[in-house]
Amino acid sequence: QQQVRQSPQSLTVWEGETAILNCSYEDSTFDYFPWYHQFPGESPALLIAIRPVSNKKEDGRFTIFFNKREKKFSLHIADSQPGDSATYFCAARRGSNAKLTFGKGTKLSVKS
Amino acid sequence: EAAVTQSPRSKVAVTGGKVTLSCHQTNNHDYMYWYRQDTGHGLRLIHYSYVADSTEKGDIPDGYKASRPSQENFSLILELASLSQTAVYFCASSDWLGGLSYEQYFGPGTRLTVL
């Protein structure tokens, strides 16, 4: 049972465009939603995270939009740069449980 | 910044052999985790631990054991390695403050090939 679904599996955008990566979840008790990125040959690292007390979280060019009613959240990367090319994983965590459930990832390629 | 190291960085094992992957963290984090990464499957949690001498099963624990002899060290043990266990294995750690766990810091990974 996949509790966090991620789409698309791969995405190609041109430099300067906004990349949109999507995730959905099933468990309504999830209350923390981070995005990790992973560059080729490296380990995952936290990019940005949101708690559902708000429906938007911004950090520079990166924005999470959260829709609690539809159980969906998305990562928008504005003004995409070739250096943003990586695999992006969304995840979710339930309350005081330290376990993260990851999506399968979106491989983003930014072409110049 | 959290420092998580893994050894070995790569390993070739034979089917049916025993494999031990080691992880060490130096930032006094309570939680440690073992994940495997396979193309198309993302990151899947194998075992985790929140205190020394105690481990918990993750989402895919079958075929794996874990050991947490100290706060700093966490090992993943494959008693009888199988071809299907070929993957990249990541160790991670996180803090635990007031009932909220924070960012997970990942080690560099171990590439395991079982032949």
- What amino acid is encoded at B100 in this protein? L
The pLDDT of residue B2 is: 55
Under 8 Å between Cβ of B101 and B94? yes
Reading the block at residue A54, the tokens are 């708000």
pLDDT band at A1; cut points 50, 70, 90: low
- What amino acid is encoded at A67 in this protein? N
The pLDDT of residue B95 is: 86
> Mean per-residue pLDDT for A69-94?
96
Query: What is chain B's Cα-based Rg?
Result: 13
Report how far residue A45's alpha carbon sits from residue B91's, in angstroms, rounded to the nearest whole number: 12
Q: Which residue of B has its CA nearest to A95?
A: B100
- How do strand B105-106 and strand B87-94 relate by DSSP bridges? antiparallel
DSSP conformation class of B67: E
Reading the block at residue B93, the tokens are 């750690």
Give chain B's contact residues with A (Cβ, < 8 Å).
31, 40-45, 48, 50, 58-59, 90, 94, 96, 99-101, 103-104, 106-109
What CA–CA distances, in Å, run from B36 to A70, B47, B85?
Answer: 30, 10, 9
Q: Output the CA angle A107-A14-A102, nearest 5 degrees.
A: 20
Closest by CA to A2, choosing from A104, A111, A112, is A104
- What amino acid is encoded at A105 in this protein? G
- Please confirm whether the linkage preceding A40 is cis (ω < 30° from 0): no
Reading the block at residue A75, the tokens are 């990562």
Out of A34, A99, A105, the one facing B58 most closely (by C-beta) is: A99
Residue A19, C-beta contacts closer than 8 angstroms, at least 6 positions apart: A11, A13, A76, A77, A80, A84, A108, A110
Taking residue A80's Cβ as centre, other Cβ atoms within 10 Å add up to 23
pLDDT band at B101; cut points 50, 70, 90: low
Report how far residue A50's alpha carbon sits from residue A33's, in angstroms, rounded to the nearest whole number: 5
pLDDT band at A94; cut points 50, 70, 90: confident
Q: Which residue of A has its CA nearest to B90?
A: A43
**Lowest mean pLDDT, pick from A42-46, A48-52, B7-11:** A48-52
Q: Is the CB of B40 less than 8 angstroms away from the CB of A104?
A: yes
The pLDDT of residue B96 is: 75
Report how far residue B34's alpha carbon sits from residue A81's, in angstroms, rounded to the nearest whole number: 32
Question: What pLDDT digit, counting tens, does each position of B25-67 carry?
Answer: 998 899 999 999 998 788 999 999 999 999 999 999 999 999 9
